[in-house]
């Protein structure tokens, strides 16, 4: 595993206060969403016809490495776009999760650090 990939696998726990959070999940025809996920992931479906996509808007306060005092944290807003997926591991266990399409934030600092320590694909945008 190269150095950047190792960093992007969440090398330390973080903590924050979620001031506000809104999540919207929609059912979409599976053929539309299936094109957006890479193999070996599979779309998590309902009645083998519908996939699900979610958008979450979260206003955080004091995001920081766990154990540091809150005043050292950063406040930011995040919008995340995710598709519900399944994955079968080498032992045949069926796992469920979310595939990250994109993440947006209102702070360049979060984009920079978030892209070093996660694979969430942050971009900075103007969020009002």
Mean confidence (pLDDT) of the chain: 92
Q: What is the pLDDT of residue 3?
A: 66
Domain boundaries, the chain: 3-124
Query: In a 3-state reduction of DSSP, which class is residue 91?
Result: coil
Could you report the per-residue pLDDT of 76-97, keeping only the tens digit for each? 999 999 999 999 999 999 999 9
Could you report the per-residue pLDDT of 108-128, keeping only the tens digit for each? 999 999 998 888 999 999 987
pLDDT exceeds cutoff 60 at 17: yes
Among residues 90, 92, 82, 126, the alpha carbon closest in space to that of 108 is found at: 126
Q: Record the pTM.
A: 0.84
- Extended strands (E) in 9-105: 14-29, 42-43, 50-65, 74-88, 94-105
Q: Is 63 left (phi over 0), alpha (psi -120 to 50) or beta?
A: beta
Q: What is the pLDDT of residue 13?
A: 87
3-124: CATH number: 2.40.400.10
Alpha-carbon distance values, 57 to 18, 61, 80 (Å): 10, 13, 7
Kindly indicate the confidence band of residue 7, based on its pLDDT and cuts at 50, 70 and 90: low
Q: Which residues pair with 2 in a beta bridge?
A: none
Among residues 98, 59, 49, 65, the alpha carbon closest in space to that of 79 is found at: 59
Q: What is the pLDDT of residue 29?
A: 97
Kindly indicate the confidence band of residue 11, based on its pLDDT and cuts at 50, 70 and 90: confident
Could you report the per-residue pLDDT of 31-43, keeping only the tens digit for each? 999 999 999 999 9
Kindly indicate the confidence band of residue 4, based on its pLDDT and cuts at 50, 70 and 90: low
């Amino acid at each position: 595993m190269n150095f950047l990939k190792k960093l992007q696998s969440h090398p330390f726990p973080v903590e924050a206060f979620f001031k506000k959070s809104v999540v919207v999940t929609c059912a979409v025809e599976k053929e539309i969403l299936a094109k957006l996920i890479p193999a070996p992931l599979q779309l998590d479906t309902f009645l083998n016809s519908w996939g699900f996509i979610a958008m979450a808007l979260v206003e955080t306060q004091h995001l920081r490495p766990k154990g540091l005092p809150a005043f050292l944290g950063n406040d930011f807003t995040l919008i995340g776009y995710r598709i519900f997926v399944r994955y079968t591991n080498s032992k045949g266990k069926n796992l469920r999760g979310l595939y990250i399409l994109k993440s947006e934030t209102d702070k360049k600092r979060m984009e920079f650090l978030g892209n070093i320590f996660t694979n969430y694909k942050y971009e900075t945008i103007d969020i009002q």
